[in-house]
Structure formats: C-alpha cells, structure tokens
Amino acid sequence: MAPVDPHSYTDGAHPVTAHAALAFYLDFSASAIHASALLTLSAPHSGDLLLDTRALAVHSAATATAPADPIPFALAADADPVLGSALTLTLPPDTTSFLLTFSTSPAASALQWLSPPQTASGLPFVFSQCQSIHARSVFPCHDTPAARITYSLLLNLPARLSAVAAARHVARRDPVPSDHRGAVPSDLWCAPGRIVEEFHMAQCVPPYLFAFAAGAIGSRDLGPRTRVYAEGGDTLLDDAAREFAGVEDMVKVGESLFGPYDWERFDLLVLPPSFPYGGMENPRMVFLTPTVIKGDAAGAQVVAHELAHSWTGNLITNKTNEDFWLNEGFTTYAERRIVEVVQGEERAALNMGIGWRGLNRMMERFKDNMEFTKLKPKMAGIDPDDVYSEVPYEKGFQFLWRIERQIGRPAFDEFLKKYIATFKFQSIDTETFLEFLKANVPGIENQVDLDVWIEGTGIPPDAMEPDSATYRKICTLAAEFKSGKIPSEDEVADWSGQEWELYLENLSKDVESSQVIALDERYKLSESRDYEVKVAFLQLAIPTGCRCYFNEVEKCLKQVGRMKYLRPLYSSLAKCSEEEKMLAKRIFSEAHEFYHPIARSVVESILSKHG
C-alpha cells in the first residue's frame, strides 16, 4: 500500500479513475440517489483496487465488457470517522473499466435535501458540496485531489424541476432505457413525468469539484458567458442579476492578470440560505450563499475570490489537503488583485486588513495546537472540516505578498503567469511549488526564509500588517472605544459592511456590556441585514453576558446556515455560562434539520467539545 493522501484510501501503486460516467436517479421522497457509475481507469489493472466511499450502499460491481459477470467486492464494515469506508474490488486481469450500482444515504455528507416547506418555491431542492472529502458520499471514487477525472452526468428528476452542474450542459431530454446502466429498473427511469438533464465535464478536475443542484431553478443572463441561477423566484433573480452585473468585466480583469479563462462559461448559482459556505468555486458554476446579495456590491469580493479559483485551485490544484494553502493562499492573493482593479486600492487594503485580523485571531484559536498555524500542517487522522481556518488563506496570502515585495510586482506577475501556464490541469504539492519558485526566482531562498514560512508555526516576523488611510482610521477608532468613545455619525457616514466588520473585529474583547449596548443603540448593528456585521457584533456581545441579544442570535442561527456565522456564534455561546450553553443546545435542536450535513456535524463537534 502506497498512500498518496492522508484523506483517501487511494493506493499510489495502482491506477486511478480517469473518467466517470454517472447516471443518478434523484429520489426526493427518500432523500437518496440510486445510481450507476461506469469508472474507467488510467491504466489496466488486475486484482485489488481501493475506492473511497462514505455511507453508500453498494449493490453490484461488474466489468464493463461482461456485465453479467460480477466482480467480487467488499465494503469495510466499520467506517473510519474521517475517511469513511474503503471499497475493495477484486478486478479480473487487465480491467480498464467497471460498472458499479449503489445508493446514497439520506445522511450523505455532501448532499442537502430540502423538503418543499424548506424552499422558496415550495418544490423540493437538492445540492451537493463535495470539498473537502465529501464526493465519496455521492459516488465511489478516488477521492483525492491528486487524482483528476473527467465525467459525464445524467440526472433523472421530476420534469417540473431542472438541474445545473459544474459541467457543460448537453441536453434536457426524455429518459431512455440505455441511460441508466442498472441504476434503477427501466420503468422507473423512464416513468412518465421524469426528465433527464445531461452534462459533460471534458476538463480533468479533482473529485471535490464535482457538483450539481436540482430544483425549481430560474436564471438571468448577465453577459456572453455569464448567467445567474437561483431557486427563489423572480425578485431574488432580479436582485442577483443587479448584484452580479459586473461579473463579465471581472472575468476580463482575471484574464488580464492571470492568463486566459479556460472554463468557457462562468455561471453563478445562488443557493438557499442553508448553503454552508460563502462561495464554492465549482468550475463553470460557482455556488454562492444568498447572504452575499446585499445591494451594496460587497458580494463582489466573494465572487472575485471564487473567480480567482478558476486559475488557482481549479487549474492548479493542491495535491492533498496538507497543501490547501496552494489553493486558498494563492486565491486570496489573486482575489485581492482583482478587487484592487475593480474596486480600488483602498478596498483591497481593507480586505487585507480584515484578513490580517483573522490571521491573528487564529493564533489565539490554535494556541494549544500550533500545528494548524503552519502553512503545511500534518493532517493524518484530522477531519479538514474541523480545522478549517483563515490560516491557509491569510498566511498563504502573506507569504506570496512577501515574495512580491521582495522581487517587485512586475517580476511577481510574470512569475505567477508562468506558474499557472506550467502547472495547469495538474495537482501539485508545496515542494513542487518551492522548486519552481527557486528555479524561476534565483536566490529567493537567501532573501526570504522559506522554511520559516512553510514549516514554522505562528506568524513569521516578515509578515506585514497592511496599511491604508481607511484601515488606519478604523483601527484608531476601534482603539478609542476602550476609553468609551463611540464613533460619530460623521465618522461612519461612508462606512459599508466591511468597514463595520473591521471596526468590530478590532474592538478589544474585554468591553463592558453597557458599552456594547450603547454602540448598538446608536447604530442598530444587532439588527443589521448584513450578516457579516450582525455576526461580528453578536460575537462581541455574547461574552459580555448581555442577554438582550439572545433573540437576535437565535434568529440569525435559524435563518442562515453559513458556517462562517455558525462557528463563532455557537462557540461563543458554548464557552459562556450554563444559560448560554442551554440556549445553544436548544437552538441547535430546533435548527439542525435546516443545516447542511457538513454544518450539522461541525456544530455538533463544537457543542460536544464544550460539554
């Protein structure tokens, strides 16, 4: 056994899946997919082959050439809590492709099934979120970003619904018996009132970028290669179209900075409020939380980030989760370069300031576990969802910014373009990046302490706090709050959500509840429609023991399932007195069905950690 990835059973001595032909029958009444997968290997193989699965029921395995000849298979009985269950197939000599049939569990970690009362349209909805290691709960695969696949996807669904995927849409058509390859009986597959949506992904992608959604989805065109989709009706679509009107221009900015946009289309899908992230860079079809639609163009930052992944993350991918900074650090850097062009230097500096605060906060969070302050942490036995943090984003950003300062922007830009052109459609590790850096920037290892940056814990001494007039002004105002000063109306007149976020996150944590209440009376932050502001405020208020905000905390936790908000709010409550703990438990027991399974398990682990 030659492990390639601490988060996968994939054996490096064996070939991996190169192509997956997937046929999914979406069973909304059972919250399950009944499926077949025809998997083609990168080379012929004989004997044992290991695949990743989680909570899948595997029904059959056979070679593609002799469908009647079953392949022996075994699904490990006791699932590993992080990895899931290895599926071992014993392949006949020189097998290149084989067919599996299986069903997903209603508890599949990647999938959220929303029942009609939980959606805006009153029709059912389902969507996937596979990063980091949840693709294996949808289909058996080599679920490591080291193994890239192309795939075709047939989604069989009720004809009153439609579907999108992170792949080229081929057709919406009637089902035919030759589609399903045994996923379900033909009469079910071809039943009246069912439709097939057909997709094809011809570019190789890591399995975590596999994505689809199905429901009452409408759309609005934004530009020649951009469109926004959403479930939720005309008003939401109109708001979304207004919010994202500038997306085509942003793609052009990305191309000018990083080279051609290689994915043909850049569409957006606005998900229901339970979407667990701000955005997910699924290729051709970025998934977004509806909370970014605020009418103040702040959503542009999240879109810039997910767009930037089209180059950093999707073209060049981290080989394992230990190299996650290659995805998120580069993308945070690239995002800020796009923001700088589209929204100006001040805005970019403000984003950097918010990031800097976040990075410093993480040093506190991980003070007893400094491994996770490293750019390349050891991840064996660790669930990536449990240690998700700003470190790979902001320390990664700081590292690249440090190199930029050393060699100057023109040289760094040239380096970046060459890096992308050299490794596109590959999955690489940190060592490969470092070799490329040293080869293309001779002497860099004598100017920047690469070991300290990559292997060291904490924030390296040559990291830099960003600076700009707005950033400095906000930090000063935040420092004055300690002596009782609340900013005047004039001082905050032109503040948007991000200025407030930075201000609130810079306030000292040992403030009095009376001060917090006074601030809120003046600016109504606890009721802000901007969740970044609202959550930053509530996070400040909870530890002061101010019970008057319980109501707003509860509303917030029940309305939005984005983990960026759930994590700090549940953690603050869980760290407080018994009353807050009880509140957290009650809210979770009432809200958990609304959360995505990934969010559900993250909150569960927060609550159990604090007893």
**Are the CB atoms for 88 and 100 separated by under 8 Å?**
no
Q: Does 206 bind ligand BES (CB under 6 A)?
A: no
Nearer of residues 267 and 328 to ligand BES, judged by Cβ: 328
Q: Does 279 bind ligand BES (CB under 6 A)?
A: yes
Q: Which of 9, 25, 151, 393 is catalytic?
A: 393
User: How many residues at the interface with Zn ion, by CB under 5 A?
Assistant: 2
- Per-residue contact flags (x/-) with ligand BES for residues 540 to 579, judged by CB under 6 A: ------------------------x---------------
* Site of tokens 């290997």: 41
Footprint (CB under 6 A) of ligand BES, residues 385-424: 388
Q: Is 462 helix (H, G, I), strand (E, B) or coil?
A: coil
Single out the residue of 142, 309, 337, 596 in contact with ligand BES (rule: CB under 6 A).
309
End-to-end CA, the chain = 39
Maximum distance among all Cα pairs of the chain, rounded to whole angstroms = 79
Footprint (CB under 5 A) of Zn ion, residues 256-315: none
Q: How far is the CB of 304 from ligand BES (least distance, A)?
A: 8
Q: Does 433 bind ligand BES (CB under 6 A)?
A: no
Single out the residue of 305, 336, 357, 376 in contact with ligand BES (rule: CB under 6 A).
305
Q: Is 384 helix (H, G, I), strand (E, B) or coil?
A: helix
The piece of 25-33, 182-190, 244-252, 272-280 that touches ligand BES (CB under 6 A) is 272-280
393 is catalytic: yes
Nearer of residues 267 and 328 to Zn ion, judged by Cβ: 328
Q: How far is the CB of 273 from ligand BES (least distance, A)?
A: 14
Joined together, the tokens standing for residue 150 give 């192309």
Nearer of residues 387 and 591 to Zn ion, judged by Cβ: 387
Q: Does 302 bind ligand BES (CB under 6 A)?
A: yes
| Pairwise CA distance, residues 145 & 156, whole Å | 27
Nearest to 201 by CA among 428, 43, 425, 427: 425
Determine if the peptide bond prior to 132 is cis (ω within 30°). yes
Q: How far is the CB of 568 from ligand BES (least distance, A)?
A: 13
Phi-psi label, residue 38: left if phi above 0, alpha if psi -120 to 50, beta otherwise: beta
| β-strands 226-231, 267-270 pairing | parallel
For residue 37, what are the β-bridge partners? 22, 100
**Exposed/middle/buried for 60, CB within 10 Å: 0-12, 13-18, 19+?**
middle
Footprint (CB under 5 A) of Zn ion, residues 315-334: 328, 331
Nearest to 561 by CA among 116, 26, 118: 118
Q: Does 210 bind ligand BES (CB under 6 A)?
A: no
Nearer of residues 314 and 331 to Zn ion, judged by Cβ: 331
346 is catalytic: no
Q: What DSSP designation does 161 have? A: -
Which amino acids are annotated catalytic? 306, 393
Binding site for Zn ion (CB under 5 A): 328, 331
Binding site for ligand BES (CB under 6 A): 131-132, 277-281, 301-302, 305-306, 309, 328, 388, 564
